[in-house]
């Protein structure tokens, strides 16, 4: 397998550090708009056994033709997208044009309903990708979408619960929480603030079998969820997320939700950003220091003002937990479980030099790539993680040294 990895930020760099320890691929080209980031990701592997399989390149992720040409030039048969969601569609189309397989960790962007954003869906997450499913099927190529940790591992948990733990499922609720702190900053998100603003301020989507997909106001339906391994109770709220759009396509459940443990301070910051328009992506005109006029995206300015999450590992303490809470029946009796994956920042920094949140995201596409390379996961078209047998994934995740857990509620 020859892999083109596009995006050498925190997640992309963590992908290289995880993949370097595995022998299932022949070559990985690490490409980024900033060649220094790609070169740094490769240079960090110096001295490792698999170092010679990696190379750096520059690419503009919005340039479909250039991406397709790079895939062809390097003989890559799969594109792994580690950029933010703005670049999903150009990379998705470029991989299809080049005849390559495709994996991402976040799906194509949504657009709220123009009149009733807090009750009805507009363009849903992933709609643009699923619209091209027949073309992927006809090409005999696989587009595996949403294969990070959430979405990704959380979806694998949902399929595992349906296959091995339940006869009937009432609700599948993805629940994400952490007790992470960062020294020296009043506000320092542990993941991309651009993506966080997008998913938290868009209307959350809920699925119910009787209604289909519908929306609610941001931060709705707060609940306190008790996370395992010492994290403890965290208030979680509805957030727009891909699992709600993916799970019902392959797993039967009466209701599917996603709730994120943001905390009141984080929610307040997001609300203020929205109130003053700093969540907007449409450019505004500003005056530069030299007096010239320039157009900038307010959300990009927010991201530029905050520390890069990938650089926070040495200041970060605590654990992050991603998991899937499932209720239903087994053998005629009620059952409730929480399937989860916890990463301790001290461990991920010591073992890989990557902070917990980006490392937890990065390990899952590497596991998936290994399953695709070995033929244990195969298919064509646009498919989510739920479309594949879950046990090989969960077993290989454990073999990578990052076991998962299950708690009977």
Distance from C-alpha of 49 to C-alpha of 20, rounded to nearest angstrom: 7
**What does the buried/exposed string (b/e) look like for 181-208 if buried means 16 or more CB atoms within 10 Å of the residue's CB?**
ebeeeeebbbbbbbbbbbbbbbbbbbbe
Per-residue confidence (pLDDT) for residue 234, from 0 to 100: 93
Distance from C-alpha of 107 to C-alpha of 144, rounded to nearest angstrom: 10
Distance from C-alpha of 359 to C-alpha of 251, rounded to nearest angstrom: 27
* Residue (of 185, 255, 186) closest to 214 by Cα position: 255
Torsion sign, CA atoms 54, 58, 63, 65 = negative
Q: Do the bridges between strand 205-208 and strand 101-104 make them parallel or antiparallel, or are there none, so unpaired?
A: unpaired
Per-residue confidence (pLDDT) for residue 358, from 0 to 100: 96
Residue-wise pLDDT for 124-160, tens only, equals 999 999 999 999 999 999 999 999 999 999 999 999 9
Eight-class DSSP state of 53: G
Q: Which residue has the higher pLDDT, 265 or 96?
A: 96
Q: Which residue has the higher pLDDT, 199 or 220?
A: 220
pLDDT reading at 294 higher than 90: no
Distance from C-alpha of 3 to C-alpha of 35, rounded to nearest angstrom: 18
- The token pair at 392 is 């090989």
Residue-wise pLDDT for 305-332, tens only, equals 988 888 888 999 999 999 999 999 999 9
Residue-wise pLDDT for 238-266, tens only, equals 999 999 999 999 999 999 999 999 888 88
Mean pLDDT of the chain: 95
Distance from C-alpha of 164 to C-alpha of 153, rounded to nearest angstrom: 16
Distance from C-alpha of 308 to C-alpha of 15, rounded to nearest angstrom: 17
What mean pLDDT comes out for the span 212-233? 96
Q: pLDDT-based confidence at 102, cuts 50/70/90?
A: very high
- The token pair at 174 is 């993805």
pLDDT reading at 49 higher than 80: no
Helices and strands, counts by H and E, the chain: 14, 20
């Amino acid at each position: 397998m020859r892999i083109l990895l596009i995006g050498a930020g925190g997640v992309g760099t963590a992908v290289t550090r995880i993949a370097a320890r595995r022998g299932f691929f022949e070559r990985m080209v690490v490409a980024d708009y900033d060649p220094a980031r790609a070169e740094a990701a490769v240079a960090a592997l110096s001295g490792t056994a698999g170092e010679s399989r990696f190379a750096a390149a520059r690419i503009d992720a919005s340039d479909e033709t250039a991406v397709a040409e790079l895939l062809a030039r390097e003989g890559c048969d799969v594109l792994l997208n580690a950029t933010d969601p703005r670049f999903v569609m150009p990379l998705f189309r470029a991989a299809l044009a080049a005849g390559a397989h495709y994996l991402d960790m976040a799906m194509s962007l949504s657009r709220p309903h123009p009149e009733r954003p807090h009750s009805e869906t507009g363009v849903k997450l992933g709609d643009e990708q699923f619209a091209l499913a027949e073309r992927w099927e006809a090409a005999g190529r696989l587009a595996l979408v949403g294969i990070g940790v959430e979405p990704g591992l959380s979806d694998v948990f949902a399929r595992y619960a349906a296959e091995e733990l339940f006869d009937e499922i009432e609700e599948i609720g993805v629940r994400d929480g952490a007790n992470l702190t960062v020294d020296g900053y009043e506000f320092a998100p542990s993941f991309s603030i651009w993506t966080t603003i997008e998913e938290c301020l868009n209307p959350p989507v809920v699925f119910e079998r009787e209604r289909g997909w519908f929306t609610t106001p941001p931060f709705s339906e707060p609940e306190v969820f008790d996370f395992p391994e010492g994290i403890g109770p965290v208030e979680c709220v509805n957030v727009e997320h891909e699992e709600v759009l993916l799970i019902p396509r392959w797993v039967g459940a009466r209701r599917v939700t996603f709730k994120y443990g943001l905390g009141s301070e984080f929610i307040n910051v997001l609300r203020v950003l929205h109130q003053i328009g700093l969540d907007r992506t449409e450019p505004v005109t500003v005056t530069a220091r030299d007096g010239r006029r320039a157009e900038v995206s307010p959300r990009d300015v927010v991201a530029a003002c905050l520390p890069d999450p990938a650089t926070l590992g040495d200041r970060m303490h605590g654990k992050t937990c991603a998991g899937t809470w499932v209720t239903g029946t087994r053998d005629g009796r009620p059952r409730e479980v929480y399937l989860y994956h916890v990463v301790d920042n001290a461990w991920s920094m010591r073992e890989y030099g990557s902070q917990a949140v980006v490392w937890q995201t990065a390990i899952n596409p590497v596991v998936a790539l290994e399953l695709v390379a070995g033929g244990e996961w195969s298919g064509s078209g646009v498919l989510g993680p739920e479309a594949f047998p879950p046990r090989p994934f969960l077993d290989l995740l454990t073999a990578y040294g990052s076991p998962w857990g299950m708690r009977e509620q």
